[in-house]
Amino acid sequence: MLKYIFLRFLAMIPTLAIASVLIYTIVELPPGDFFESYVAELEASGETIDPKKIEYLRVEYGFDKPVWQRYFTWVWGMFHGDFGYSFEYERPVSELIGSRLFLTMLLSFVTIIFTWVIAFPIGIYSATHKYSMGDYGFTFLGLLGLATPNFLLALIMMYFAKVWFGTSIGGLMDPKYINEPMSLAKFGSIMEHMVIPVIVIGTAGTAAMIRRIRANLLDELKKQYVITARAKGVPPVKAVLKYPFRMSLNFFIADIGSILPAIVSGAEVVAIVLSLETTGPLLISALQSQDMYLAGTFLMFLAVLTVIGVLISDIALAILDPRIRLQGKAHK
């Protein structure tokens, strides 16, 4: 196990190196740069532009240098905790991301817990009560949740919240707390505003997980060891939860690789609709304005989380399911 983890850590180095090259290349692919977009925006609004100032900024931030040189400067800075400067927000990238990272992780964590709490009991019930009225009802709700776009559900809930309760559900806190330090009152406001986003973002994920738990558990319940356990008089709950349910969780563990980056990126479209102060809208804005250091840092952070998540899922799968061997050798 230790040898496997060590080798995987070594494999992460070239993987992240290749990912950094691809990320920087993709960010650089659109024609022009942030300063050209900035100049075009100023010209469209009728403002005057000082060419010397733009040229000074290009030289100051190294845009007069070759692409490969800027890439190595960016990578070298990340190793020293310098993720660059956001031209659009005129702040260091680390400071800008840090201000939204806590809210994003809190929202994503609560959403994940909400999804698990709802999906696991319903998935187990649907699998153990196949083709019952409850199974049909949950199946219908699951398909409805999958078919409804999250941003549309967000708009609907915003409308009814305004009509029925006369309140706006935009944002993750009351406006008076936005620039205030964390306090008990501010945290309470955050938790109050988080209810609707959690329901909206978690709807599709809950519906999809219910269907997958049901399908995987049904497949395990048909196997011979479950039939033998029931024939020997093992209690029904134990006969389902001890081994079949455990074996049906392989897909769930394998999803850790996608859960970790999702915690940071969040639901971007829903966050824009609900005006959430998370990192998702920040990433989209950075890509649109070609704020390369901000966008590149975001994407690199997501790549690191994906690689770590895949490693964790591989190790957890080997622990959960004895049929999986990390060495890749056949065992008789």
What's the pLDDT tens digit per position in 173-209? 777 777 777 778 777 777 777 878 888 887 777 887 8
Q: Is the pLDDT of residue 167 over 70?
A: no
Among 14-28, 48-62, 134-148, 291-305, the least confident range: 48-62
Whole-number percent of the chain with pLDDT over 70: 84
CA distance 285 to 34: 12
pLDDT for the residue numbered 323: 64
Task: Scan for tokens 């895949």, then name that residue.
Answer: 310
Of the pLDDT bands very low, low, confident and very high (cuts 50, 70, 90), residue 149 is confident
CA distance 4 to 315: 9
Among 12-16, 63-67, 222-226, the least confident range: 63-67
CA distance 238 to 240: 5
pLDDT for the residue numbered 262: 67
Which amino acid belongs to residue 243? Y
Task: Scan for tokens 């998370």, then name that residue.
Answer: 278
Of the pLDDT bands very low, low, confident and very high (cuts 50, 70, 90), residue 332 is very low
Q: What are phi and psi of 243, to 5 degrees?
A: -120, -50
User: What's the pLDDT tens digit per position in 39-90?
Assistant: 776 666 666 676 777 777 777 777 777 878 888 888 888 887 778 777 777 7
Domains and CATH numbers, the chain: 2-92 (no CATH), 102-320 (1.10.3720.10)
CA distance 80 to 76: 7
Considering Cα of 261, then 264, then 265, then 268, what sign does the dihedral take? positive
Of the pLDDT bands very low, low, confident and very high (cuts 50, 70, 90), residue 324 is low
pLDDT for the residue numbered 273: 79
- Provide mean pLDDT across the span 241-268: 72
Q: Is the pLDDT of residue 123 over 80?
A: yes
Q: What are phi and psi of 47, to 5 degrees?
A: -85, 150
CB of 217 closer than 8 Å to CB of 246: no
User: What's the pLDDT tens digit per position in 278-314?
Assistant: 777 888 888 777 777 888 888 888 888 888 888 887 7
The 3 state secondary structure assigned to the chain is CHHHHHHHHHHHHHHHHHHHHHHHHHHHCCCCCHHHHHHHHHHHCCCCCCHHHHHHHHHHCCCCCCHHHHHHHHHHHHHCCCCCEECCCCEEHHHHHHHHHHHHHHHHHHHHHHHHHHHHHHHHHHHHCCCCHHHHHHHHHHHHHHHCCHHHHHHHHHHHHHHHHCCCCCCCCCHHHCCCCCCHHHHHHHHHHHHHHHHHHHHHHHHHHHHHHHHHHHHHHCCHHHHHHHHCCCCHHHHHHCCHHHHCCHHHHHCHHHHHHHHHHCCHHHHHHCCCCCHHHHHHHHHHHCCHHHHHHHHHHHHHHHHHHHHHHHHHHHHHCCCCCCCCCCCC
What predicted TM-score, i.e. pTM, was given to this entire model?
0.73
